[in-house]
Structure 1
Amino acid sequence: MIPDSSLPVRPAGLTLADFPTLRELCGALEGSGCELYLVGGAVRDRLRGVVGSDLDLLVRHPQLDPDALEDLLRRRLAPAPVLGVGASFRVLKVKWAGEWLDLALPSRAALDAATGAVTGTGPGWLSDPRLPLTDDLARRDFTVNALALRLCPTGTDDLADPFGGRADLEAGRLRASGSAAERLAEDPLRLLRAARFAAQGLTPDAELTAAARALAPRLAEVAPERLWREWLKLFAGPHSAQGLRWLAEVGALGVLVPAWTEVDGLTQHNPHHRETVSDHLLTVVAELDRMGAAPLTRQAGFFHDIGKGRTRTLEQGPQGLHGHFYGHERVGAELTRQSLRRLRADSQHVRDLGRLVELHMRPGQAGSPAAARRLAAAAGDLLDPLLDLYAADRLAHVGEDPAQIQARQDFIRAAAADLPRTFSQHDLALSGHDLRTLGLAPQDIGPVKRWLTEQVLEGRAPNESAALRDLLAGDLLKGDLRVQQPGDPSSDGHGGRPNP
């Protein structure tokens, strides 16, 4: 049952004047009987002070059917093109002021005439400009999305809020529009959308949480590509750890990432960890949230210890059981890649997140300049995310000193400051042609370039042409490499191979 809205609530500072393109569109529709609304997330975000580029629009006309409305808009907006898209769920596409706008028609789930129940196994849709606005808002997932700002007829900028969505926004509360069980059953992806809103600071209420707990297994029915898109949006929120904690609470996280079940509640038996592995992962994500880290880094925080479930060994010590997780970073990297491929993640995410998980122990082990430079070369463009992950991970340990963590980050960055990111033999200041002109035989160029790369990474020489030439000519290679001199009659054309 749709609750009655008393007097419409006027959003402070939100009027048609904020939308110049729409103001011109409303001018063209004046006197036509059309009503134009800004709806859903576009209203929600603006009420929260977030101005996005997406404009979700809805058009209705109390006396015209869909075809008649399309004809009216085509005449009124000429020469702008108007195209009808969809049959049951109708959208009119209008190119106005150089951009395409989607004008949806009010819609509701199609009902069986005899029983009054939703037809079919999923909601079929009935779109009709004559439907009441509240019918359209009632089909939306959450109250904070069941909002509509009337843009025209000009001057009627009232907010339609039949479910109390604005009050929920002000209270930081997330509620379903109507029955939570029905809304989630219509599309189980809404459960992950709820987590995304939790990551934006809204707290799902008890009814929504209970419904999510009952319907969590149905997330497995959702196309992986849809899950991946929502997963990315969750980690883009400022409080992604809150969304993940809610997913864990309702039993949905293991459906999305099966490896989660292997670490959920797993004790570490380690003096550096008070938390279980699962709690530690979420604590690290919360720390990355606090740091304002990039979404990629927050995902790495979620996955970084996911391999501990398969690598834990226990031994009896003086203080009781002590846990070890040898090789968990390598196992975790593979589990991360498997989890992402299961969600149909793009190859860049699979590669980068797997690499971050695999390297997450290395910053703490990089105690020398050479080790720091090798780490920087291995991390490449991921060095900054890796150092953020290292800091968040260490801060989630017991008794860590933030100053020492910062000092280690600074040390690694300073040691690698003169290296280009993704440094390899291809970045050497001496090219293969340069080495050939120095007298090296073709078969020796590859080994010498690899050896020079090692010397740069070890800090024995800067990556400068003159310094590398001096290194080749110096005592360091005496006895290890014989350079063919031009015109040397004793040369057999084969220089000795470096043996660094």
Structure 2
Amino acid sequence: MQADNQLILDHLDQPIFRLIGEVADAMNRPCFVIGGYVRDIFLHRPSKDIDIVTLGSGIELAEALAARLGKRAHLSTFRNFGTAQVKYNRRDEHLEIEFVGARKESYSHDSRKPVVEDGTLQDDQNRRDFTINALALCLNHDRWGELVDPFGGMADLERGIIRTPLDPDVTFSDDPLRMMRAIRFATQLNFQIEPETFAAIERNCSRIEIISKERIIDELGKIMRSDIPSKGFILLDECKLLPLIFPELSALKGVETVEGRGHKDNFYHTLAVLDNVALRSQNEWLRWAALLHDIGKPRTKRYDARLGWTFHNHNYVGEKMIPGIFRRMKLPLNDKMKYVQKLVGLHMRPIVLAEEVVTDSAVRRLLFDAGDDIDDLMILCESDITSKNREKVKRFLDNFELVRTKLREIEEKDSIRNMKLPIRGEEIMETFGLPPSRPVGEILSAIKEAILDGKIPNEHEPARQFMLETAAAMGLQPVAK
């Protein structure tokens, strides 16, 4: 890929770059925009985060720029790291500009935190993770827009290649997070990892153990949010990182055969479901539900001579596994986790409905249990149909459309979604002179079941009459007032 000088000049033709260059010239400092912002110019991707490297103190350059910008800028300095950040708002534009002095780094074996020394631009480019992230554009007046590309990063952009600037074994051993970043960039950009670089990831995969769970999950999240997330998980598996960072997902791999009868590879099926969901939704947590929907299958797999391979209750087992997975991987233990749990636990229900006669009662119960997440649940279930048999796929999808129609009809008629019972426990206790107790719960449960079965409407008077009849059958009578 030849550098398009006009493309470079068009992107640098912004007041902020002109001002940074003027400040650097006044301080007699060579100054460059470097890394992802430069890469994304040539990939025609939007980018707001700007990295600036200078020879000398990056903090001093940031302080001088902030002084020129005045109240429009907010300066943060991180002196322990020799870096600074300027946040800048101009009209509807918000920019974050990171400043660092050019440096060279050396690492110890048990840490990804380097010993840092002042260095040249070449030293700074040497320490970059990949050639496509080592591109630099000069902002000084006499070299304005000059591209510095010592490692063939432009050629790698042209070929769609992820490659380290220096020895990949050293690069990944020094900072093992770069292995995750290689896979993340390959997934986001739909690039290939250069063979020797990929082989070095496999050789150094055990080094991932020194990386914090928070850093790993940040990269996994970016893979999950990409257009074709399966690519990242396949690469993680092929380079042997997956069993180290996500053993439950790795356990889905493989096909076992008994008496000539095998089951599908649940790992590749799961990734097909994930991609299907990604085509239909940007919801990251719906994607996590897709990735985890069959996570209970390895623990429930059984072979039956009559039925073949079974995975009974794998949805409920998977639902129970999720808090442990979220806790270990440092995913949020909040409503996001509960949402994923709910969808994993319920994902077989619409499939069962689609295989059988769709009764109003079954649809009411599904709508009640799924609540506002019913539409996401249906997306997950429709995405779960990955058969190569077109007739089977059409039959399931037609039946799912019937389920959707029933859901709409019953919601309009009965208002079941997020249903609140028309009778409360307090009314039962007051009517029969009961303390909080099991009979109160049994009457409430009977009312709920009657509404879901369509025996009574979701209204107070019919529910109260049903309450009186149920209580009488239990030997309870209203107390005199």
- TM-score for the superposition, normalised by structure 1: 0.78
Contact 2:162–2:193 at 8 Å: present in 1 too?
Answer: yes
Provide structure 2 residue ranges, at least 5 long, that are not aligned to the other structure: none
Partner of 1:141, secondary structure, is: coil
Q: Within 1, Cα distance between the matches of 2:158 and 2:261?
A: 40
Q: Could you give the per-residue CA deviations for residues 287-330 of structure 1, whole angstroms, max 9, x where no partner exists? A: 3334455332332222222222222221335xxx9211122222
Q: Is 1:376 aligned with 2:367? A: yes
- Pairing of 1:113-128 with structure 2 (within 5 A): 122=111, 124-126=114-116, 128=118
Match of 1:488 in 2: none
Measured against aligned partners, the alpha-carbon deviations of 1:255-274 in whole angstroms (never above 9, x if no partner) come to 11122343321337799986
Contact 2:368-2:418 within 8 A present in 1 as well? yes
The amino acid that maps onto 2:54 is: R
Structure 1 portions without partners, runs of 5+ = 1-5, 112-117, 484-490, 496-500
Higher share of residues assigned helix: 2
Q: Which amino acid aligns with 2:344?
A: V
What is the identity percentage for the equivalent residue pairs of Structure 1 and Structure 2?
A: 25
Judge conservation of contact 2:135–2:153 (CA < 8 Å) in 1. Answer: yes
In the alignment, what sits opposite 1:115? none
Which residue number in structure 2 is paired with residue 132 of structure 1? 120
Structure 2 partner of 1:86: 79
Task: Judge which range, 167-176 or 11-20, deviates more.
Answer: 11-20
Paired with 1:433 and 1:351, the residues of 2 have a C-alpha distance of 26
Q: How does 1:96-107 map to 2 (within 5 A)?
A: 96-97=88-89, 101-107=96-102
User: How many residue pairs are counted as aligned between the two chains?
Assistant: 459
Structure 1: how far apart are the matches of 2:292 and 2:259? 19
Tell me the distance in 1 between the aligned counterparts of 2:66 and 2:150.
32
CA distance in 2, matches of 1:269, 1:359: 30
State the distance in 2 between where 1:76 and 1:38 align: 19
Task: Determine the structure 2 residue equivalent to 1:387.
Answer: 378
How far apart in 2 are the matches of 1:335 and 1:267? Answer: 23
Is 2:27 the partner of 1:51? Answer: no
Cα offset, 1:334, TM superposition? 2.8
Tell whether the 8 Å contact from 2:31 to 2:54 is kept in structure 1 after alignment. yes
Q: From the superposition, tell whether residues 8 and 251 of structure 1 become closer, same or farther in structure 2 (CA, over 3 Å).
A: same
Name the CA distance, whole Å, in 2 between partners of 1:472 and 1:67.
72
2:166 matched to 1:178? Answer: yes
Per-residue displacement from partner, 1:349-390 (whole Å, max 9, x unpaired)? 432323322222111123323222222322234323322221
Task: Find the aligned partners of 1:451 and 1:316 in 2 and give their Cα distance.
Answer: 40
> Do residues 355 (structure 1) and 347 (structure 2) align?
no
Task: Indicate conservation of the 8 Å contact 1:241/1:289, yes or no.
Answer: no
Aligned residue for 1:413? Answer: 404
Query: Displacement of 1:104 after TM fit?
Result: 2.3
C-alpha separation in 1, matches of 2:339 and 2:128: 36
The AA in structure 2 aligned to 1:257 is F
SS at match of 1:347: coil
CA distance in 2, matches of 1:265, 1:81: 53
Give the partner amino acid of 1:354.
Q
Q: Give the match's secondary structure for 1:337.
A: helix
- Conserved 8 A contact 2:272-2:386: no
Q: CA deviation at 1:21?
A: 3.9
Aligned to 1:487: none
User: Equivalents in 2 of 1:431, 1:159: separation in Å?
Assistant: 73
Question: Residues 269 and 282 of structure 1: is their aligned pair in 2 closer, same or farther, counting only changes over 3 Å?
Answer: farther
Question: What is the aligned-residue RMSD (CA, Å)?
Answer: 3.9
The letter for the 2-side match of 1:296 is W
Equivalence for 2:312: 326
Aligned to 2:138: 150
What secondary structure sits across from 2:303 in the alignment?
A: strand
1:456 to 1:410, Cα distance in 2 relative to 1, 3 A: farther
1:184-199 correspondence runs (5 A):
184-199=172-187
- Measured at CA, do residues 68 and 253 of structure 1 come closer, stay the same or move farther in structure 2, by a change above 3 Å? closer
Task: Give the direction of change, closer, same or farther, for the CA distance of 1:414–1:34 in structure 2 (3 Å limit).
Answer: farther
For residues 381 and 359 of structure 1, the distance between their equivalents in structure 2, rounded to whole angstroms, comes to 13
Contact kept in structure 2, 1:212 and 1:250, CA below 8 Å: yes
1:90–1:127: 8 Å Cα contact kept in structure 2? no
Give the Å deviation of 1:338: 2.1
Q: In the superposition, relative to structure 1, how do residues 39 and 110 fare at CA in structure 2: closer, same or farther (>3 Å)?
A: closer
Paired residues for 1:152-301 under 5 Å? 152-153=140-141, 156-200=144-188, 201-267=190-256, 275-292=264-281, 294-301=283-290
Match of residue 498 from structure 1? none
Aligned residue for 2:294?
305
| Change beyond 3 A, Cα 1:311–1:167 | same
